Chains A and B, each alone.
Chain A
Amino acid sequence: MGTHKKISKIAMSMVVVISGFATVVSTAAISAEKKSRAEWKKEYVRPSEIPFPKENPYTAAKADLGRTLFFDPRLSGANYISCGTCHNPSFARGDGLAKGIGHAMTKLGRRTPTILNLAFGEDLMWDGRFETLEQQALGPMSAPVEMNQNMKAIVAELQQIPEYQTLFNVSFPGKGITVENIAKAIATFERTVVSGVAPFDRWGAGDDHAISTSAKRGFDLFNNKANCVACHSGWNFTDSSFHDIGMPDKDIGRGKVVPGVVVMQHAFKVPTLRNAVERAPYMHDGSLKNLYSVVEHYDNGFVTRPSKSEEIYKLKLTSVEKTDLVEFMKTLSSKDAPIAFPRLPAYDQTVAGSLNVSPAAGPSAGSTANRVPKGACNSFLMHYIPCSK
């Protein structure tokens, strides 16, 4: 949400006098984003294909392997948490909790973000500390408070599973099971997780009956008075930007990753609104229970401080307008087909052996042991759990 700018063609001319000569160095016209409903619709057309990086191109085998790994709890230290535990398809790839739950029931510092549409994202996680999905895949897996997986042990553990050896050799010929290839496979799968066609998309394509009159008014508000479009722009309803939206907690978010930049203090990633209605509660701290609460926050519920985004200001919405905005956001949810969970590869049945996994019982919450050890405290971990001094 943000400032409804009404800058109508302000012509800006800068004249600089250098050594007695007047030189026009810049003339820029700033046009207001004043568009018709039909023009705004064009801004939200779904893309025709998913982008994959040249360093990790798509193959069907790799995506299938990544999907299997994503739902395999053996990728956690105690073998009971998979990526899919928190990024649950039934909750639009979130977990339905205010704060995530990690290893040994450790309560994490932020709400679990969705993995929907991350192929189109930039700088991942609430604080953007991972530049690529490959990095992101390994972060929670190795974090002691999340999946608590020893990354050296995971390779040996997967090598005990003959089918994984086959699957990795098919996807990564001559390289097999490595930490890097685990990340590449999971990232490839995650890029295929794209929200389906929603009523809004059908409306945009010409079906005038696909959404309600209230939702249509909400769309107009979204792009004008409420100016949600300042950040939730494009088909994915996010521009991947970071803003301090005035949540009252003390978490400085992006500020730890980009210290020294005022507007990055208390700033967090703008999430997609696709399928958001299934992902309550909301915001990075999970403090708002429904979308109406979210609209109330942007209307007049934020705190003001030096880092507050320029796009956040009092909207003065009526109760009908708030309802219209919620009705519009509800139209962004696709009714996707149920997810088929993969059959997980079995351990080798031909030789005797025992598993060596991390203990399920972790340190109790609040104890000094439940801190990132001094020296290991880095930008990957420090926001989840206090660092030892």
Chain B
Amino acid sequence: MKTKILACAMATLFVVAGAAPVTAEVVINQKAKKFDKKKIEIKKGETVKFVNSDSISHNIHSRSAGYKFDLGVSKPGTTASKVFDKAGKFKVRCAIHPKMKLTVKVN
């Protein structure tokens, strides 16, 4: 009986895993009105998570040609994520604080 339950649980686990494939995630921290990295290189389909460790709000966005996006206001202590599903080199900035610049190269 225990064997059957374990097998069933593992099967469920693999179904869940199959439905939502695990992809790599790169974390970018925002602190003192700066990104903690200036450039990153990721693979197509990977996620970049922007953590706001500042005491003020930020707003991640990109005006790169053919790949514009806006993640909206990110309040202190929150995160915003972006799946980069297109290859290329993209400039990401904080719309509020233009000195915050990040280049994302998606292979």
Residues of A within 8 A of B (CB): 2-3, 5, 7, 10, 12, 14, 18-20, 25-26, 28-33, 122-123, 128, 230, 233, 239-243, 258, 260-264, 267, 309-311
Contacts and interface: CB of A to CB of B under 8 A. Distances in A.
Interface in B1-39: 13, 16-17, 22, 25, 27, 29, 33
A30 B95 contact: no
B63 A7 contact: no
Interface in B50-73: 51, 53-57, 59, 61, 63, 68, 70, 72-73
User: Range of interface residues on chain B?
Assistant: 20 to 34
Contacts of B82: none
Contacts of A240: 97-99
Given A25-B25, A30-B76, 15 more contacts: A3-B56, A5-B76, A7-B77, A19-B17, A25-B49, A28-B77, A31-B55, A240-B98, A241-B33, A258-B63, A261-B59, A262-B72, A263-B59, A263-B96, A309-B96
Contacts of B13: 19-20
Q: Is the interface of A mostly helix, strand, loop or mixed?
A: loop
A19 B70 contact: no
Contacts of B56: 2-3, 5, 230, 310-311
B99 A239 contact: yes
A263 B77 contact: no
Contacts of B75: 310
B13 to A, nearest CB: 5
A346 B72 CA distance: 55
Given A25-B25, A310-B73, A122 B53 contact: no
A264 B57 CA distance: 13
Interface of B: 13, 16-17, 22, 25, 27, 29, 33, 49, 51, 53-57, 59, 61, 63, 68, 70, 72-73, 75-77, 79, 95-99
A122 B99 CA distance: 7
B79 A14 contact: yes
8 contacts: A5-B55, A5-B76, A14-B79, A19-B16, A30-B76, A240-B98, A261-B59, A310-B73
B98 A122 contact: yes
A262 B61 CA distance: 11
Nearest to B94: A241
A2 B96 CA distance: 14
